[in-house]
Structure 1
Amino acid sequence: MTSLRRCLASLFLTSGIAAVDMALGERVVLSGLLVLGPVLACVHVEKRCTLVVGGYALLLFVAMSQVQGTLGTFNTSVRVLTLGIGVCMAVCIAHMRAARERTLATVARTAQQALLTPLPPRVGYLLVATRYRCAARDLVLGGDVLDAVSSAYGVRVLIADVRGSGLSAMGTAAATLRHFRNAAYAQRSLLSVTGAVAAAVSEELGAEDFVTATIAEFAPDGQVTIVNCGHHPPAVLGERGARLIDVEPALPLGLHGDYREEKVRLAPGERMLFYTDGLAEARDAEGTMLDLEHELRTLPHAPVLDGVLDDLFKRMDSHTGGRHSDDVSMILCQPDP
């Protein structure tokens, strides 16, 4: 629909220039500006639409020349040729732009898939389900990070949200993921993991950049150790409903926070949900924020983790009408020794 609106805008611009030219008569000649319609189209829409706008501009010029009695003169012939060349150039630009965008989209999708490799349904003794959707639909590129690794000290989980989006955010996200994997296997305590990740990430961030994150460690008996670095609190989902974990957040990674651990014990069958801004701050067309606590409390206790996340995604899309301005990431974990 956006492409159609832009195509119509180009047609209206062309019609407006022709109308003004006809109204001014011989005092001012604006027919040369008819090329602006195809030029505007080639920047935003595909070559077929650009060709339509260009053909419309040429027909308008011929019709205007007929009405003004200048059709067939040398000056008019030169202007038609010039306009035709401009239309051809606009169509070529639209074709090259579309080809470049397809190439960039393929590269971005490949990079994103390498960065967010789908997690297996089981990591060690932890059942895992994940969902990810990028706000930049055309590039499938964002700054959210999800990961889970089974180390000698327990199964460790990361969810992080890099400030911003695009290539810069993806680079920071890749660095965060790399440093987490290195620290998760090597460091004995979760605080040591967080400190190592924070120190390494800080060296790669700009002056105004930061990364909110939650790093958690699951034990086989259901105990979960959590370090919250400026992120949204995780939620516990069970057959008796849901609750948000009251975890006092420290400063995000990159801002040199004083990190501390919180411990939560999951009852048999309970799951823990981690998520990013895209879910917590999802808004409808009027700006009303999703009541996440209510949605979690009324969420059915599906036997399969993927079913829970699918249901939650549907509820979010129902509230927002399918619109989303931020990356959405979720990871649901359930100990299963």
Structure 2
Amino acid sequence: MTTRTSSISAPSLPLGADAFAAVVAKLRASAGLRAKADIGRAAARLGIGGTDAVRVGDDCAAIPDGEGFLLFAIEGFMNEFVAGDPWFAGWCGVMVNLSDIAAMGGRPLAVVDAVWAAGEDGAAPVLDGLRAACERFGVPLVGGHTNLSTDRGQLSVAVLGRANRLLTSFDARPGEALIAAIDLRGRYREPFSNWEAATDAPAHRLKGDLELLPRIAERGLARAAKDISQGGVVGTAAMLAECSNVGVEIDLARVPAPADIDPARWLMSFPSYGYLLSASAAGTPAILASFEQRGIAAAAIGTVTADRRVTVTHQGAREVIWDFTRDRLLGCAPGTGTGTEDAA
């Protein structure tokens, strides 16, 4: 594991002119980004997409309910992750779902899980991780499904939440700033590119940090946001852009990052706490201040554009990572087909 960082400063990625081309190549080949296309294939088979009454393509299903919305999300985990780090997989089952709820301006209500394992001993660390996270975040785990007679460990977790006012993946507009907010007070949990910044944080800090997103929504400071997923900063920006039928241009040097980090790995990492928001010039200063007041690094890293391309820049160099005029990713933008983005 790397040395823990505690500063909210966001140094520039250690990226020279020669390294930029190598980083671009890795971003284009990112497995975390390419895997999102699988979601679109499944959604097409199911006949659901971004034009439905309950739009898919977001971090949660947002179901109208009275004056607000019920939020419903689910996350499934790779077998190798559950086998390699079962306790942390259980913890992440809760953490990533709560992050999805927050990304849409919501607050969590309850968690359920489905655990498969080879016997009680195989299930124990996963269940312990689930329990620890629910207790730390203060969200009840109210049931689920268990199978202790399988030949390998598998895990999925679902969460129900509620929002008074939504942040969505469908409401970024050209000319808005693209903001990244990431908790840098962590380290990699090897061998996966998971930035661990929550397991030893106090409960009051974890709850307060998640509360920032619904407050931003309710104050009307932003309309669009997305939880940074396994696609990393650039991949998540691509999903946000596609759903909103826009493009984004990202200045890599402005992405909040720990000191002495590998730039390609960081840009494709899953942070314990990381969000992208699209906001007007009027709302951006208040959003940045709200994160920084809680010790979370935040910066305007780029601009939402009208050209439907995901572009990265560095020291005058400029490269297109994804062109939606040529290729779909999720395929769930209104008017472009069917797709979904479950548990991004």
TM-score, shorter chain, exceeding 0.5: no
Q: Which has the higher contact order (CA 8 A, sep 6+)?
A: 2
TM-score by length of 1: 0.27
Q: By percentage of residues, which structure has more helix?
A: 1
Greater Rg over alpha carbons, structure: 1
* Structure-2-length-normalised TM-score: 0.26
